[in-house]
A and B are shown apart, each in its own frame.
Chain A
């Protein structure tokens, strides 16, 4: 009896291990930081894009119902793709679009806005990428929807039709 239990136990254990690993193969192994709860927006100092004046985040996120913070750069190809959706959102009255220009060359960034139009109500510079870390972002483009100084939605990667619709729903 004892000799029979052992092989059965072994087969059982290995089939469980096989099953777990086989399932695991299909999982993505790329981690993306998710937004678990509504968190407060960070406080930081930055320079305004055109005038190069120093501004604090408190001066930026005040007065409007909703804010959409978009981290962008002229060298980022997906930023061009999502640009039309930002233009669409810029027509909405109750939402202010704030641009964070990430590690960019000023002339290139300016040309980007001239060629594709400027959807932003205000742009500030993030030349060394440390403000992006304050937001918990790790690449471009990333978009944050803000209400009452709290991040209510975080979008990693470019916007699309579906996300545009979601943002419009949220900011009704």
Chain B
């Protein structure tokens, strides 16, 4: 009976720990995608500035309030602008940023294709 109790408590502890870890992981994931505005070039997760530390607390608070990742990003974007996100969403300010690689890819592909076709014609 004692062994059973022991196992149950161990499983319970592991469960508690893992769910806590899961929440912590999400918090880390979010703060890694946030740019610290004091020491620019570092993420909030990496930074130890006053601002970054407050932001870590705030993210934890918001997660506890039940907000999800996207809502937290939207909240911070509203306060500080797109710049705070390392991975900005698709909007009228960022469409050029997102579409440029695709355009370059298509453009480059077209040049290669033309060359190949021209070569074939010569043959």
Contacts and interface: CB of A to CB of B under 8 A. Distances in A.
Interface of A: 29-34, 103, 128-130, 132-136, 138-139
B40 A133 contact: no
A136 B50 contact: no
Contact of B54 (A29, A34, A133): A133
Contacts of A139: 38, 50-51
Q: Sorted from nearest, which 6 A-B pairs have the closest CB atoms? A: A129-B54, A136-B79, A138-B37, A33-B80, A138-B51, A130-B58
Interface string B64-89: 00000000000000011101100000
Contacts of B38: 138-139
Interface residues of B, number: 16
Given A31-B83, A33-B80, A103-B50, A133 B55 contact: yes
Given A130-B58, A133-B58, A135-B79, 19 more contacts: A30-B40, A31-B40, A33-B37, A33-B79, A33-B81, A33-B83, A128-B57, A129-B51, A129-B54, A129-B57, A130-B54, A130-B61, A132-B54, A133-B55, A134-B79, A136-B80, A138-B51, A138-B80, A139-B51
Given A30-B40, A31-B37, A138-B37, A133 B79 contact: yes
B18 interface: no
Interface in B37-57: 37-38, 40, 50-51, 53-55, 57
A138 B76 CA distance: 12
Contacts of A33: 37, 79-81, 83-84
B79 A129 contact: no
